[in-house]
Amino acid sequence: MVYAQEFHVGLQYDTIACRANPEQSYALYLPSGYNSSEDNKYPVLYIFEPAARGSSAIKIFKPLAEEYGYIIIASNNSRNGSWDIVFDAADAIFKDSYARFKIDTTRIYLTGFSGGSRAALTIASVTNRVKGVIGCGAGLSPLKNYHPTSKNTFVYYGLIGTRDMNYLEMECIRGTLSGINLKNRLHVFDGPHRWPPESALSFAFDWMEINAGNVAIVIKAKNKWLARADSLFATEEYLLYQTEISDINTLFSESQFNNNQRLDSVLKYKAYKAEVNNRDKWQAREQEWRLKYLQGLTELAFTKWAGTDSLFKDGIWWQNEVKMLNKYVKNKDLYKSRMASRLLNMITASCAETLWRYVQQNDMVTAVNLTSLWLYINPECIRPNWTAVRIYAMNKDRKKTIKYLKKVVDLGIKPTKAMLKNPNLEFVKDTDAYVSLATLVQ
């Protein structure tokens, strides 16, 4: 067996082609403590990024790889879309890395963000050869035959932002996994739909290490977890505090830690009971409004963005809804504010995912409607503005293509050569806006 003789520790490698299938590749980081000449083997974390950006995912986990001694490997091919793409990528990087590196095959972990998180949980469920899964920003596959069962033996640590569109889904997954006796935990951090911060991810590594029998980490981890619980109590996040204390008592056992007296007191607080009622009220509203907005997105295929249409939810209806949600985001009531952020997040994600389906169907009117809604919610973000460039260029709308070319330049876009080679932009190459964009190519 050939181990990692050609790679240096402590360095990130962005593209390593798989020997048996060079079209498949992955990004790699070997921790400084890795030694290919010793008999030791090392735990490995495989990352599945929803847009196949392996190198960007590696950067997030490098400090944790050093602290906990993990090999980190991220696929450059796995992405949202076909499950065949995901499975082929996973198979390729597993086989190649097993041959090249000193991997402890009893300590294989998977993680991913959003669609990549669904991929990680699916692969673990199907193969049942994984020790643990760190799910970030999303949970189960839409396909039930890819869900975990009582036969699975891995542990699961989920992380979700309070303003993430998939928040309610991740709250439900805990009950789902507990129902099949699959050990799990959910960590909530303050933030939108994004990779969790390093500080939150470190709790997931603690969880994996403790469940793997690493007793050396227990005292350090316990103190960190207690500090988080104290912080939640101090900020009067009593529901999260309740969950944290329950998990701490389970993980570290009452012989090592007993904070039940304060928890019992919290459960009697009027503020706790009010928080429960407030959470239930706004989560019920969120479920109701999600259905309303998903219906509204479908109706954009039958109406127009500009003008009033009494039969369908048109652009005017959407603008009024977005104004209301933006007002709610600024509300002092955190449950109301977070609900509004999650709904806005859900709407923009739905626009981004579905508009290209309409393009494939040659329904450019609906594609423009969805792009307009996305821009109305996120007018200062590069991604919807660049999408507008592409959509209007396909429509040969010179005026609006130039308008959004100027906008993405003003927003500081970092274009690639591939972006400039888009054949739909040929008809604006003579404009100052295109020239300005071309000068920014890295």
Whether 65 shows a pLDDT value over 90: the answer reads yes
Sort strands 25-29 and 42-48 into parallel, antiparallel or unpaired: unpaired
Whether 328 shows a pLDDT value over 80: the answer reads yes
- Confidence at residue 1, expressed as pLDDT on a 0 to 100 scale: 40
Separation of alpha carbons 198 and 201, rounded Å: 5
**Model confidence pLDDT, tens digit, residues 93-129:** 999 999 999 999 999 999 999 999 999 999 999 999 9
Which region among 36-40, 157-161, 302-306 has the lowest average model confidence (pLDDT)?
302-306
**Model confidence pLDDT, tens digit, residues 225-246:** 999 999 999 999 999 999 998 8
SS (H, E, C) the chain: CCCCCCCCCCCEEEEEECCCCCCCEEEEECCCCCCCCCCCCEEEEEEECCECCHHHHHHHHHHHHHHHCCEEEEECCCECCCHHHHHHHHHHHHHHHHHHCCEEEEEEEEEEECHHHHHHHHHHHHHCCCCEEEEECCCCCCCHHHCCCCCCCCEEEEEEECCCCCHHHHHHHHHHHHCCCCCEEEEEECCCCCCCCHHHHHHHHHHHHHHCCCHHHHHHHHHHHHHHHHHHHHCCCHHHHHHHHHHHHHHHCCCCCCCHHHHHHHHCCHHHHHHHHHHHHHHHHHHHHHHHHHHHHHHCCCCCCCCCCCCCCCHHHHHHHHHHHHHHHCCCCHHHHHHHHHHHHHHHHHHHHHHHHHHHCCCHHHHHHHHHHHHHHCCCCHHHHHHHHHHHHHCCCHHHHHHHHHHHHHCCCCCCHHHHCCHHHHHHCCCHHHHHHHCCCC
- Confidence at residue 195, expressed as pLDDT on a 0 to 100 scale: 97
Six-digit token string for 298: 């479908």
Whether 441 shows a pLDDT value over 90: the answer reads no
Segment 397-425 mean pLDDT: 93
- Confidence at residue 261, expressed as pLDDT on a 0 to 100 scale: 74
Name the pLDDT band for 313 (thresholds 50, 70, 90). confident
Name the pLDDT band for 220 (thresholds 50, 70, 90). confident
> What's the first-to-final CA gap in the chain, in angstroms?
40
The length of the chain in residues reads: 442
Mean pLDDT of the chain: 92
- Confidence at residue 308, expressed as pLDDT on a 0 to 100 scale: 61
